């Protein structure tokens, strides 16, 4: 199981980014251009490109796949048996992939914890821990817990049809496991089936563009 992390340097669409557009399916390109804000367009573009590169670690395909969106919004690749999930917050994009297990990932920029959400969405045990923490530790605990809840819902792929205050992230839920970590000033959580070893790697825009261009030359 792999987690790729990409920290965007800025949100400007460069000429090198635009040259990739001709290789992207009309549907995916339409989704990218649908965003009016350039920040959102670049985030959407690189979320897709990071996912493509991560998926290709598990397959010999030489094409850029298009994603199919399931009923509740979870993307998949019909032509490949690869499980993947994407999340982004601020300037960070994360993608998790596995050849063997369903998964969900969520990232959030760590900031001041909203107490009203803790009271509404946390379990009694989670609230008790939150109440015992100083502000700096509380902020980290909140976003660790929140990203775990989000990752679990994304793992299930059935939308938000559960009461968040019934999802206890302090223990395993069924046969799932959580892997949470901090990256720079972000909280990241992965929820997956089983206990597959997780490998994390940092990427840059330059690395991703080089991979995509090389992939197209081989196609």
- Tell me what pLDDT residue 76 has: 72
Contact 192, 176 (CB under 8 A): yes
**pLDDT at 161 exceeding the cut of 70:** no
The residue ranking higher by pLDDT, 17 or 68, is 17
Q: Which residues neighbour 169 within 8 Å (Cβ) at sequence distance 6 or greater?
A: 126, 144, 145, 148, 149, 152, 178
Q: Is 124:22 a contact under the CB 8 Å cutoff? A: no
Indicate the pLDDT class of residue 126, thresholds 50, 70 and 90: very high
Residue 158 has pLDDT above 90, yes or no: no
| pTM of the predicted protein model | 0.91
pLDDT per position as a tens digit, 38-79: 999 999 999 999 999 999 888 766 566 667 777 666 777 766
pLDDT in tens, 77-106: 766 678 999 999 999 999 999 988 899 999
Reported confidence tier of residue 157, pLDDT bands at 50, 70, 90:
confident
Identify the weakest region by mean pLDDT among 3-17, 79-93, 127-141, 196-210.
Answer: 79-93
Q: Is the pLDDT of residue 113 over 70?
A: yes
The pLDDT tens digits of the residues spanning 196-214 come to 899 999 999 999 999 988 8
Can you tell me the distance from the alpha carbon of 190 to that of 83, in angstroms, rounded to the nearest whole number?
Answer: 13
pLDDT of residue 218: 65
Where do the domains of the chain lie, and which CATH numbers do they carry?
Answer: 1-100+199-219 (3.90.470.20), 103-195 (3.90.470.20)
143-156 pLDDT, tens digit per residue, is: 999 999 999 999 98
């Amino acid at each position: 199981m792999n987690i790729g992390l990409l920290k965007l340097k800025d949100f400007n669409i460069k000429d090198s980014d635009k040259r990739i557009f001709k290789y992207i399916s009309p549907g995916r390109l339409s989704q990218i251009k649908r965003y009016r804000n350039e920040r959102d367009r670049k985030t959407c573009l690189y979320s897709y490109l990071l996912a493509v590169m991560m998926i290709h670690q598990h397959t010999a395909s030489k094409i850029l796949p298009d994603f199919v969106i399931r009923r509740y919004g979870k993307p998949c690749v019909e032509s490949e048996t690869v499980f993947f999930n994407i999340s982004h917050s601020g300037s960070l994009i994360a993608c998790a992939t596995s050849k063997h297990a369903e998964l969900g990932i969520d990232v959030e920029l760590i900031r001041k914890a909203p107490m009203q959400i803790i009271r509404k969405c946390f379990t009694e045990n989670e609230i008790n821990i939150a109440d015992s923490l100083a502000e700096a530790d509380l902020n980290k605990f909140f976003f660790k817990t929140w990203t775990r809840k989000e990752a679990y819902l994304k793992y299930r792929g059935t939308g938000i049809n559960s009461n968040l205050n019934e999802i206890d992230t302090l223990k395993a839920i069924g046969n799932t496991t959580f892997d949470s970590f901090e990256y720079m000033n972000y909280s990241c959580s992965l929820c997956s089936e089983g206990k597959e070893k997780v490998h994390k790697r940092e990427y840059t825009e330059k690395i991703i563009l080089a991979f995509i261009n090389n992939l197209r030359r081989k196609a």
